[in-house]
Amino acid sequence: MPELPEVETTRRGIAPYLQGQTIAKVIVRNAKLRWPVPDNLPSLVSGLTIQEIRRRAKYLLLDCGDGTLIIHLGMSGSLRVYPLTDAGKAGLPHQHDHFDLVLHNETVLRLRDPRRFGAVLWHAGDALLHPLLVNLGPEPLTPEFNTSGLFDQTRGRVASIKQTLMNQQIVVGVGNIYANEALFTAGIHPKTASGRISKIRYEKLVHAVKQTLQQAIEAGGSSLRDFVHSDGTPGYFQQHYWVYGREGQHCKKCGSIIKQIRQNQRSSFYCPVCQR
């Protein structure tokens, strides 16, 4: 599933083509995504100007003044920008091209989503008050995600630190890949109870989360299965993984064998020597 770096990479990729442009029309080929595309979406957004493109957690927010178009990529979604006149691309939609946002400058933003776990929604007013967004935790790359806050939130918690990092009410956007990588960088075993971790170790973890995500953004995210940039090129952070997907291989730091376990039906990878 695309995580924060992939969504942020997508935001940066599409923003120069969409920001300040007026929506001409919407084409919905399949409204049956994770949540149905609103029936009246074409009439709601036609003629509106995209004023700003933001990201909140793993959601892309296209601010149109009167309301916001909320897009989620789900497990396999990707957004591409095409010229409307390109018959080989925008003119011939593929089977999984479910949604087009057509602009007056003859540019098309197209959502491709083979598994249909993505979403295209509309919210009038402040998008951050939408039910999907209102209870989300802090953004990990902002000062609101800090050592004191994380330490205080985890007192008395028996959930593992891996589960805690993936709890979107604690901190947003840290999915399975980057939780594994950040825990390795901080030297913390993924099964450690979050309530038993000291403030000093949380300081290392907060720094590791921020560092890992920033490096992933700079590398263009990770390309696992279906994720690609808005221009179709892959991300390259997977070339820098310390532990994720490296079960049975030697740790790049100490030479020990990387282990794999299952936590909440997700794979966790760790070094038994570097992570305690």
Q: Note if 252 is an active site residue.
A: no
The counts of H helices and E strands in the chain are 6, 10
Residue-wise over 79-109: b if at least 16 C-beta within 10 A, else e? bbbbebeeeebbeebeebbbbbbbbeeebbb
Choosing from 11, 56, 58, 112, the catalytic residue is 58
Farthest-apart Cα atoms in the chain, separation: 60
Choosing from 3, 6, 8, 181, the catalytic residue is 3
Rounded CA-CA distance 22/3 in Å is 29
Q: Note if 259 is an active site residue.
A: no
**Nearest alpha-carbon partner for 53 in 144, 2, 117, 127:** 127
Choosing from 29, 54, 115, 266, the catalytic residue is 266
Q: Note if 36 is an active site residue.
A: no
Rounded CA-CA distance 71/33 in Å is 11
**Nearest alpha-carbon partner for 231 in 62, 16, 1, 23:** 16
Choosing from 2, 114, 138, 140, the catalytic residue is 2
Q: Note if 112 is an active site residue.
A: no
Active site residues: 2-3, 58, 266
